[in-house]
């Protein structure tokens, strides 16, 4: 009997992925349906619905779900969910689709799913702006005092993505027919929730923490993971292997860095490295909640939340992704509420005076004694061939990252931001 936290939503793992003869038959049917081209984000969302990562979702959200999620963190039935999972289509496509129709969802010539369209609703510019304000506007300098709409349309990748969405959304259940490139490109790393749960059960884990990563794992990340190892049965180092913004380091490079760290600096049986197939939404606090929500499906009941989790620019307060967990609705129904809780860790760094890793809660020394560097500034230093401050990263990992940057044929411009000592997890 598993001791792990139940999947989110009270329905077990809801998996929309078809296999075998059932998949073959649906693919054959899909060839005769209207073909709708989807975004990279929708592809990742479909795969997560397929493998149970987005349980209890079985399709794209209705207008009532979209509105409830944006406004109250709850779908129409009261189930907690922090960010909209919607499918946008052009006005031309929408004109050819009626409620009740079945369509095929394709990307770059590959069929990813079929969908039964239950609802079609328009997304006006005002609707999109309202969604952006609810989901992406935070408490940082670039969100307050009227700055959000001056800065976000050009500098916030999540806002840019939503404002570029097409004119209509379609809602309805899906049958997922492909996991894309992930099983072949990331064997042993790309794991479904049922697989991580089986792995945790095999190890006898009941109390599991997750460390979310979209950057190479530096000393602060390592420290966070080791704090969790001390108080939990084990830690899942869970890397994003979907799409990032330009300048971010590819998943295979980051995963190799994690393998180097686990091999040399962790007790292997207390930690596991895996990846998940979503694109970043850069929704800061809301994305921190999303990370906890789908990690619950993977068997995780503690989500490590450090400073500026999933942040971008100066749109969010450094610890806003921690405090938002105290503000979300709680119904008292474990089938509807978020059960994965945050492990709130203060600003961490290496301190020369302490002669070790520390945080603002444990280190009494001034900032001159502390080694503080963001993932953004690390990428910029590596891209520029600059020296990395001592004790920020393990030498073996930095050597691996330098090798990657030295092999690039085209330099990517990396923009830094004002408060960006914050670690972009």
| Residue positions annotated with a catalytic role | 214-215
DSSP code at position 35: E
Q: Which residues contact 373 (CB under 8 A, 6 or more apart)?
A: 218, 381, 388, 389, 392, 421
C-beta separation of 253 from 227 below 8 A? no
Give Cα separations from 244 to 2, 135, 251, 369 (angstroms): 34, 18, 9, 33
How far is it between the farthest Cα atoms of the chain?
Answer: 69
The first and second tokens of residue 64, run together, are 């009532």
Helix, strand or coil, per DSSP, at residue 293: helix
Q: Is 260 exposed, middle or buried (0-12, 13-18, 19+ CB in 10 A)?
A: middle
How do 271-276 and 234-240 pair as beta strands? parallel
Q: How far apart, in whole angstroms, are the C-alpha atoms of residue 225 and residue 376?
A: 20
Give Cα separations from 106 to 63, 111, 332, 350, 418 (angstroms): 23, 4, 40, 47, 40
99: left (phi over 0), alpha (psi -120 to 50) or beta: beta
Q: How far apart, in whole angstroms, are the C-alpha atoms of residue 411 and residue 413?
A: 6
Helix, strand or coil, per DSSP, at residue 104: strand
326: left (phi over 0), alpha (psi -120 to 50) or beta: alpha
Q: Is 137 exposed, middle or buried (0-12, 13-18, 19+ CB in 10 A)?
A: buried
Q: Sheet containing 271-276: give its strands across.
A: 271-276, 234-240, 208-213, 302-305, 341-344
C-beta separation of 265 from 272 below 8 A? no
H/E element, 162: helix 157-163
Q: What is the chain's length?
A: 425
């Amino acid at each position: 009997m598993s001791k792990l936290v139940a999947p989110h939503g009270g329905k077990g793992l809801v998996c929309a992925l078809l296999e075998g003869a059932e998949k073959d038959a649906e693919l054959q049917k899909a060839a005769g349906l209207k073909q709708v081209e989807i975004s990279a984000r929708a592809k990742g969302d479909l795969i997560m619905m397929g493998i149970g990562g987005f349980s209890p979702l079985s399709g794209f959200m209705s207008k009532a779900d979209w509105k409830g999620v944006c406004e109250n963190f709850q779908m129409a039935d009261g189930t907690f969910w922090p960010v909209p999972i919607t499918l946008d289509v052009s006005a031309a496509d929408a004109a050819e689709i009626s409620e009740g129709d079945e369509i095929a969802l394709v990307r770059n010539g590959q069929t990813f799913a079929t969908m039964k369209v239950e609802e079609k609703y328009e997304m006006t510019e005002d609707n999109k702006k309202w969604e952006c304000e609810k989901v992406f506007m935070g408490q940082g300098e670039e969100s307050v005092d009227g700055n959000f709409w001056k800065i976000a349309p050009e500098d916030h990748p999540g806002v840019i993505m939503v404002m570029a969405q097409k004119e209509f959304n379609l809602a309805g259940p899906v049958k997922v027919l492909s996991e894309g490139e992930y099983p072949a490109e990331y064997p042993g790393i790309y794991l479904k929730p049922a697989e991580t749960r089986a792995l945790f059960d095999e190890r006898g884990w009941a109390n599991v923490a997750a460390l979310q990563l979209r950057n190479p794992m530096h000393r602060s990340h390592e420290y966070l993971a080791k704090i969790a190892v001390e108080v939990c049965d084990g830690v899942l180092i869970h890397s994003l292997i979907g799409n990032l913004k330009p300048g971010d380091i590819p998943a295979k490079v980051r995963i190799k860095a994690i393998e180097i760290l686990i091999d040399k600096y962790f007790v292997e049986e207390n930690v596991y490295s895996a990846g998940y197939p979503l694109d970043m939404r850069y929704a800061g606090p809301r994305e921190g909640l999303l990370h906890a929500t789908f990690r619950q499906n993977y068997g995780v009941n503690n989500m490590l939340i450090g400073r500026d989790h999933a942040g971008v620019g100066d749109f969010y307060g450094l610890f806003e992704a921690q405090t938002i967990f105290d503000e979300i609705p709680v119904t008292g129904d474990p089938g509807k509420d978020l059960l994965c809780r945050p492990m709130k860790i203060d600003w961490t760094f290496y301190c020369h005076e302490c002669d070790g890793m520390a945080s603002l809660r444990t280190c009494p020394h001034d900032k001159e004694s502390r080694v503080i560097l963001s993932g953004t500034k690390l990428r910029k230093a590596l891209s520029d061939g600059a020296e990395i401050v001592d004790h920020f990263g393990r030498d073996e990992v930095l050597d691996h990252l330098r090798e990657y940057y030295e092999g690039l044929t085209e330099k990517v411009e990396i923009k830094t931001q004002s408060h960006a000592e914050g670690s972009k997890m």
